[in-house]
Amino acid sequence: MQNFDYDVAILGSGPGGYVAAIKASQLGLKTAVIEKENLGGVCLNWGCIPTKALLRTAEILHYIKNAKEFGIKCEGFKVDFDKVIKRSRDVANKLSNGISHLLNKNKISIIEGYGRFLNKNCIEVTKGNNSTKVTAKNIIIATGAKPKFLKGLSPSDSKIIMGYREALLPKKLPKKILVIGSGAIGVEFASFYNALGSKVTILEIADRILINEDSEISEFAQKAFEKESIQILTSAKINKFSIKKDVINFEISSKDKNYNDSFDAVISAVGVSANIEDIGLEKINVKISDKKYILTDKSLRINENNIYAIGDVISPPWLAHKASHEGILAAEYIAGKNPKPINHLNIPGCTYCHPQIASVGLTQEKAASEYGKDNINVGNFPLIANGKALALGDTNGFIKTIFHKKTGELLGAHMIGPEVTEMIYGLVLTKQLEGTEIDLMNTIFPHPTISEAIHEAVLNSVGKSIHI
């Protein structure tokens, strides 16, 4: 029998990789993590966490600007932009150090360097001029994804063109920003920079922003953003652009109108692509999809019976919590367990713009298409009718719930408004436990809370809402 250095080696230490490592160690497997940069991957260092630190600043600034509504005068306040950026980096660094502690606590080897497959049981790890070989009985690929850029519009083309990394480390606050793409990354950066005083334009090729959200959510969000002076161009196309030293000029068409404008910063938020290049995949038996993702079976295994792949490298949605759960499942499969596979319809999505957006399951459009519009019950409740939202002075939003008319199954839930990202889990749990409309109707929600709007939306789906 061949001897291996480890039972499990994991290529990448993002939310999928480090969680898989901890779970594998808890299951009694000798485990190593291979990481070329900072522990925690893109999410912790350059995505989920530092962006939320920035958006917290934007939120506080929003309250300061509207403090007079609460009887408070805030005059002469000033934003220290350098400190805003430093705080977000400090938060990320603190959590990265925390992951190092967790891995050490669980007796997991941390191997620094760039990993490439030599064969199905061996990874060569290179750091500087040194290299070492790591062998493992099982390997998990958790290499994540990198940002996409339009041709000629990448950071290598101009210092004022930014991906998410560069947008987290600006040297100064831009005066005018063009955000290309209106998914979660795009609208979050748009919200942040707009709150701090930049003039922001969002360009979206589709006919609406936040194309993966329920159309009613998208429409509401666009109106909210425009009220905050964010310009939004949908059905848009870049016809021409020219890069100068400190500015980029654009010719844009949108809905039969032409726009000529210049910007001193551009943020590219047009999606991500899997990190599958230069990791030695040609040395193992692996299939790649037409969209350049690693293909796996339901057990997250590739064509090699000892290699698994998780997270952004295998498929959307590109969500840290999806990757983490897949990491747990992969570790359990390796340990001989029989875990329940992921139901992708039960994965929540959250966007931390202002107002916040959260959802799970089918949109109203998809539910109507799949089941027939006469076979679904749709409930809607505006936060203007919610007591807690009124007390907070933040009533801009609503809750929507969608049920199967006959079975009562919760098909989807969609929210926009204050702290909805903290509330969506309740409906995720309902879906996971196969709860019904009746179950939610019979649930007592605490008062006064914004979560009561969930109860009202459920009641509204059958015409029984109390407060509208």
Just list the catalytic residues.
Answer: 447
Q: How would you classify the pairing of strands 231-233 and 199-203?
A: parallel
CA–CA dist 267, 111 (Å, integer): 33
Locate 364 and state its tokens. Answer: 């109203």
Burial of 80 (0-12, 13-18, 19+ CB in 10 A): exposed
Q: Is 287 annotated as contributing to ligand binding? A: no
> For residue 276, which of 259, 292, 291 has the smallest C-alpha distance?
292
Whole-number Cα distances in Å, 286 to 77, 239, 302, 306: 57, 39, 6, 12
Q: Decide: helix, strand or coil at residue 413.
A: strand
Q: Is residue 361 annotated as involved in ligand binding?
A: no
Q: Amino acid letter at 33? A: V
The DSSP symbol for 294 reads B
Q: Is 182 annotated as a binding residue?
A: yes
Q: For residue 442, which amino acid is it?
A: N
- Comparing CA positions, the residue from 401, 397, 449, 399 lying closest to residue 418 is 397
Provide the H-helix boundaries in 156-214. 164-168, 184-195
Known binding residue 52? Answer is yes
* Cα dihedral sign, 315-320-322-327: positive
How many residues are present in the chain? 468
Residue 457 parent element (H or E): helix 452-460
Integer Cα distance of 203 and 212 in angstroms: 16
Is 186 one of the annotated binding-site residues?
A: yes
Helices of type H across 109-230: 164-168, 184-195, 215-227
Say if residue 397 carries a ligand binding annotation: no
CA proximity to 333, closest of 55, 20, 14: 20
Q: Is 184 annotated as a binding residue?
A: yes
- Please state, in angstroms and rounded to a whole number, the distance separating the CA atoms of residues 311 and 145: 9
409 is annotated as contributing to ligand binding: no
Check whether 204 is labelled as a binding-site residue: yes
Nearest alpha carbon to residue 454 among 407, 404, 406, 403: 403
Residue 312 is labelled as binding a ligand: yes
| Residue 183, marked binder | yes
- Residues annotated within the binding site for FAD are 52, 115, 312
- Residues annotated within the binding site for NAD(+) are 181-188, 204, 271
- Residues annotated within the binding site are 52, 115, 181-188, 204, 271, 312
